[in-house]
Structure 1
């Protein structure tokens, strides 16, 4: 085991994948010489050369469109979009080309493409550097969407995504890049400052896509979360002193429905926490699934805690985030329901 931050775990996953398979290439804005805005690709160009890790023009449309062509012709591109907020010019390529290629070609072609994007707030980046757009990808048939909450999962999920024959969106919470994070961290991420955060196996391994993890077992209620909100949920549970079961979804699509259903049927209560905007957020789909599959086991209404239904704030960023106080209030509401 090695002690790594999420950034270091992602670097390591790239290295192992590129060593094992010469078809794996890394491309994006500043990912080569500079090593990426958050240094997730640092050292790759020096080690593997400019034909395996290279910089792209400032054109997300061009980056993703080119990567789709590379994937169709046998390569396994892993591209970085500097911030999830920047992916909108490429959204048509992601939805209309990458996601549909297997189906529109009747299986003749596949698109083994990984698109990595830093997501969420925490750097005082305001509206154009802090969005959480996961619901835009989970809505699209043909895409897989993953969000790690710790370095070990980041490495395993990225290696699984690179090996997958279909397009995978990997959203990486910026607040977890450098750690440690106890659910109360209220300072911006400092990309160049590294802290040890988690134990990560040295060898190559995968975290299966579509498999959630139970971070804390309990019987009083079930909390569904992913990414940064896993840590917020755990902090709130500790503060409230309740016997809650906290499930880290890890993969939003495909979703581990059996783990969710088994937990809620056991506890009879469900709280959903995510950083993205409440309305039409991924939590709405989770609530619909729980309502359908666990209706006769529920002892209280399903609760959701999420970001505000407003444009992303700047000065009020830390109030926008669901924190242990807001999650704690929701826990009390569910238990009293």
Structure 2
């Protein structure tokens, strides 16, 4: 009997979320030296230098304060600095972000934007702020503002962390001043968005998506029998229907998606079809991110992976999020082993 993700219901202690704020395992060994800039894209070499400079400055801020006399009050922490790596998909922004993380002294934290908002939801704002305020750096991957509540919470959190001496570096494919555009009444929250923009120095990183550079087209969906056979012959694989998995994701808090796929060697999904609505689509985006972080191959039957998000969805305010998820799912589909003979 093949295991199903739909049968798993992970339970996570709230305080364990802080300990999980580290780069995905695929970025365990990355460094600035291992980032190879595209010679045709000068912004990439400039981004590496900006990231190195950020580490030097942020480390000095965290280690500053000077000597204090016996009765002298402790000096207020220096303001943290911010770096914002903006660019398209697959240009190495996460590689640079993880390199910054590895180069900074601890304690430090690395998380996706969604994981940061999930952390605040799980711990409460005050507890999350206190736990993160002792860190040298907070690295946030795929920074995005999806609703007004996120805008207010993240703006306040990062502003207060920065005031306490925590430096912040983020990656995104939307410039800070444009966060939230097309997703909600951003003009109503312009002050908060501008406050976020003021925290960061923005650096552009251009180039083609390395996930599809010099690679063959993504594989066609498997036949139903082949998918079943692959799942049965692959230790640690799971097999769910698209609708079963979508329904299960709706019952889980997104903070549990990472634990949902822990220990899974391959995810097989049958009867894939376009997402019926935005809620389903956004949960699939969150799952795709966790699968990509864990480097878990994906094999499917039914519709193609680039057809999950409808043209109407891709044309809307979450366009970049859906394109990122599609890019990642296509990359994971290439990682699947050859079909069973």
Same fold (TM over 0.5): no
Give the number of the structure whose residues are more often strand, by fraction.
1
Give the number of the structure whose residues are more often helix, by fraction.
2
TM-score (norm. length: structure 2): 0.29
Higher relative contact order (CA 8 A, sep 6+): 2
TM-score (norm. length: structure 1): 0.29
